[in-house]
């Protein structure tokens, strides 16, 4: 008799549970996405993977761009003034790093007036596997913006923020048609990052030294003039990611002698 009534008891229990739970909202657990291989890196950080040649001037490794945007006069902005043939600037897109041509692009504001209040947005967009375009976007009603120099740029009106799928370089505030000193926001600045892989490849016939440090007020050395033998690759693996406060800089003892491949997470 017990065996005969067991299915009925189970059905009754399920019915009671259904009544108790009826009408209760179902709340999905929040999704947590951790970048693989970076157990100590922040969730949702910006993944950096690229390869570049090093120079004898310290290069910032943990930013999407090393192109500076500077004010040189009340009506002039300079893009990439520090870029040279050996100390290259880079635009680090998601799939490839591209060098910015040596030279300076100047953005000149003319016919600007009292109505011209707003911001200028400078950004880059990848055109192909080997080329890019730098844009200067703005929403100033009367000002005329012109570009000159190298690598040049394209002016776009009606821009009030960075468009999607572009690489920001910087912004600047415009008041009464003038570029206001001290209001620039650079996207080439140092940023804390977690590095889990560095590959240093010496492509020359002689030994080259490499020095690495973080970018805090008093930098902490990570590598101090480590010698990389001729035609040799050194791989530095840091499982879980090693944190570099304010970013990581690398410098080689000679220009264009060492290629570095980096994999890191930049804090957003």
The DSSP code sequence of 84-146 is -SSS-EEEE-SS-EEEEPSS-EEEEEES--TT--EEEEEEEEEEETTEEEEEEEE--SS-EEE
pLDDT given for residue 40 in this prediction: 85
178 and 259: one domain? no
The answer to whether residue 7 is domain-embedded is no
Taken in order 233, 238, 240, 246, the sign of the CA dihedral is negative
Q: Tell me if 223 sits within 8 A of 195, measured CB to CB.
A: no
Structural domain harbouring 231: 190-266
**Strand pairing of 154-157 and 131-138?**
parallel
Question: Of the ranges 2-11, 36-45, 136-145, which one carries the lowest mean pLDDT score?
Answer: 2-11
Co-location of 181 and 68 in the same domain: yes
One domain for residues 253 and 165? no
> pLDDT tens for residues 135-157?
999 999 999 999 999 999 999 99
CA distances from 25 to 17, 28, 32, 152, 160 (A): 15, 10, 21, 56, 40
Domain membership of residue 158 (yes or no) is yes
> Are 88 and 115 in a shared domain?
yes
| CA–CA dist 154, 136 (Å, integer) | 6
108, 146: one domain: yes
Judge if 224 and 124 occupy the same domain: no
Quickly state the pLDDT bin for 18 (edges 50, 70, 90).
Answer: very low
Within this chain, do residues 195 and 179 fall inside the same structural domain, yes or no? no
Looking at residue 28, its pLDDT comes to: 63
Cα 240 off chain centre by = 20
Q: Residues 199, 109: one domain?
A: no
Confidence band of 43 (pLDDT split at 50, 70, 90) = confident
So what's the pLDDT on residue 136?
A: 97
Pairwise pLDDT comparison (240 vs 121), residue with the higher score: 121
Q: How confident is the model at residue 266 (pLDDT cuts 50, 70, 90)?
A: very high
What's the total number of domains in the chain? 2
């Amino acid at each position: 008799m017990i065996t005969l009534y067991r299915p009925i008891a189970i059905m009754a229990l399920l019915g009671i549970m259904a009544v108790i739970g009826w009408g209760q909202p179902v709340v999905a657990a929040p999704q947590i996405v951790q970048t693989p291989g970076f157990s100590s890196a922040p969730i949702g950080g910006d993944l950096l993977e690229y390869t570049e040649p090093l120079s004898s001037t310290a290069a910032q490794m943990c930013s999407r761009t090393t192109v500076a945007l500077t004010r040189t006069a009340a009506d002039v902005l300079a893009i990439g003034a520090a870029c040279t043939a050996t100390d290259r600037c880079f635009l680090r897109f998601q799939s490839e790093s591209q060098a910015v041509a040596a030279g300076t692009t100047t953005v000149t504001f003319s016919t600007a007036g009292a109505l011209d209040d707003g911001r200028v947005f400078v950004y880059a967009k990848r055109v192909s596997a080997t080329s890019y375009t730098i844009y200067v976007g703005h929403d100033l009603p009367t000002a005329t913006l012109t570009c000159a120099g190298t690598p040049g740029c394209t002016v776009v009106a009606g821009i009030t923020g960075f468009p999607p799928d572009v690489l920001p370089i910087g912004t600047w505030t415009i008041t009464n048609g003038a570029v206001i000193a001290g209001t620039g926001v650079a996207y080439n600045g140092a940023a804390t990052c977690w590095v889990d892989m560095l590959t240093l490849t010496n492509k020359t016939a002689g030994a080259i030294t490499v020095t690495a440090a973080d970018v805090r007020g008093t930098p902490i050395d990570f590598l101090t003039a480590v010698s990389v033998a001729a035609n040799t690759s050194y791989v530095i693996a840091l499982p879980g990611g090693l944190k570099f406060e304010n970013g990581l800089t690398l410098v080689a003892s000679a220009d264009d002698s060492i290629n570095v491949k980096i994999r890191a997470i930049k804090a957003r």
